[in-house]
Amino acid sequence: MRVLSGIQPSGKLHIGNYFGMMKPALALQQEHQVYLFIANYHALTTVHDANIMRQRTLDVALDFLACGLDSQKTVFYRQSDVPEVTELTWLLSVATPMGLLERCHSYKDKLAKGIAASHALFAYPVLMTADILAVQSEIVPVGKDQKQHLEIARDLAIKFNGQYGEIFKIPEPMIQEEVAVVPGVDGQKMSKSYENTIEIFGSKKQIRKAIMRIVTDSKTLEEPKDPDTCNVFALYKLFASQEECEKLAERYHAGGMGYGDAKKKLFAKFEEHFAPMRERREELANNMDYVELVLQDGAARAKEVIMPTLAAARNAVGLE
């Protein structure tokens, strides 16, 4: 099966991104044809400094490679290295009803956060649809917050096919229900824009500080505690085995363990998981020429599937 997902270089990646999208996508690499890209056209809607944009784009490249992206198997590219996707966006725009975009939560959320309404922010889901349909992706691993965008992608594919003939595959979202929304240190959804993240590649000191900031209730050390409503436990679950989770849950119920202790256990798990990746990332950061080569090779391989799709779409609408 063909799988595609993308992530915006709009800030430092965090464990919500990792468990919601990166890990599930990377887990498919051996069995499926996976396409992963850095959505820098998308990030232009919120990042307006050119140097920051360049830096964050390379940071995301390093993050994925350090987290185990196999560039021989997986096609890994920078969105802007395949500008044809913007042409497909236009062809799809023609089939996009305004009402569909007006209903988008993420657009409304961004306006509520004070981001100025721009045409690009409004049209964002059409570009996302083009990303997906251009590679004829069948599966799209994303976090739950992207569900509505996937519905739009499906609607537009069906509408375009109905109008012009069977050009596009209809994509299916793949959402990890068990990690659906990773909570941030304040208990809200973890998000780059809420300053509540635990970064994947922060320094050890930053990570410890972020974990110690996780909001808990004010129960005393002696009191029994409820793991199911605890943010520390929710994050611990992402890293630990079922047996380890059961053990910690028992200690919550028994009382006599403070939240500080649970946070220490979470920190240890975090380190066990990410310390080797942090080392790998440092090595890669000393070899940016290699990273650039990986991205260029990825763009060339992405074009092999994108160009024929675009040609078929151009032909279907009568441009050729």
Give catalytic residue positions. 110, 189, 192
Q: How far is CA 33 from the centre of its chain?
A: 18
Q: Name residues whose C-beta falls within 8 Å of residue 41's C-beta, 6 or more positions apart in sequence.
A: 79, 80, 85, 86, 127
When asked if residue 189 is in the footprint of ligand ADP (CB under 6 A), the reply is: yes
If the CB atoms of residues 36 and 266 are measured against ligand TRP, the closer one turns out to be 36
- For position 52 contacting ligand ADP by CB under 6 A, the verdict is no
Cβ 114 to ligand TRP shortest distance, Å = 18
Question: Counting contacts by CB under 6 A, is residue 137 touching ligand ADP?
Answer: no
Q: Which of ligand TRP, ligand ADP, none is residue 190 near (CB under 5 to 8 Å by kind)? A: ligand ADP
Q: Of these, 85, 95, 182, 214, which contacts ligand ADP (CB under 6 A)? A: 182
Tokens read off for 34: 């996976």
Identify which of 194, 169, 170 has the alpha carbon closest to the alpha carbon of residue 181: 194
Interacting residues toward ligand TRP by CB under 6 A: 4-8, 39, 42, 128, 131-132, 140, 142, 146, 149
Quick check: 309 binds ligand ADP (CB under 6 A)?
Answer: no
Task: Give the whole-angstrom CA distance, residue 236 versus residue 252.
Answer: 13
Q: How are beta strands 139-141 and 75-78 bridged, if at all?
A: unpaired
Distance CA 236, CA 249 (A): 11
> Cβ of residue 25: shortest distance to ligand ADP, in angstroms?
9
Q: What DSSP line would sit under 121-171, residue for residue? A: HHHHHHHHHHHHHHTT-SEEE--GGGHHHHHHHHHHHHHHHHHH-S-SPPP
Q: Does 278 bind ligand ADP (CB under 6 A)?
A: no
Which listed residue (12, 23, 159, 192) binds ligand ADP by CB under 6 A? 192
How far CA 295 is from CA of 57, 77, 142, 200, in Å, comes to 11, 5, 21, 21
Contact 203, 281 (CB under 8 A): no
Q: Which is nearer to ligand ADP, 143 or 171 (CB)?
A: 143
* Residue 66 beta carbon to ligand ADP: minimum distance, rounded to whole angstroms: 17
Does residue 297 contact residue 267 with C-beta atoms inside 8 Å?
no
d(CA 3, CA 173): 10
Least spacing, CB of residue 45 vs ligand TRP, in Å: 10
24 binds ligand ADP (CB under 6 A): no
Closest separation in Å from C-beta 96 to ligand ADP: 21
Choose between 142 and 313: whose C-beta lies nearer to ligand ADP: 142
Shortest Å, Cβ 115 to ligand TRP: 13
Task: Look at residue 39 and give the partner it binds from ligand ADP, ligand TRP, none, a contact being a CB closer than 5 to 8 Å depending on partner kind.
Answer: ligand TRP
CB contact at 8 A, 17 and 200 = yes
In the region spanning residues 141 to 180, those forming contacts with ligand ADP, defined by CB under 6 A, are 142-143, 145-146
Q: Does 12 bind ligand ADP (CB under 6 A)?
A: no
Environment class of residue 297 by beta-carbon count within 10 Å: exposed (0-12), middle (13-18) or buried (19+)? middle
**Chain positions contacting ligand ADP, by CB under 6 A:** 7-8, 10, 16-17, 20-21, 142-143, 145-146, 181-182, 189-193
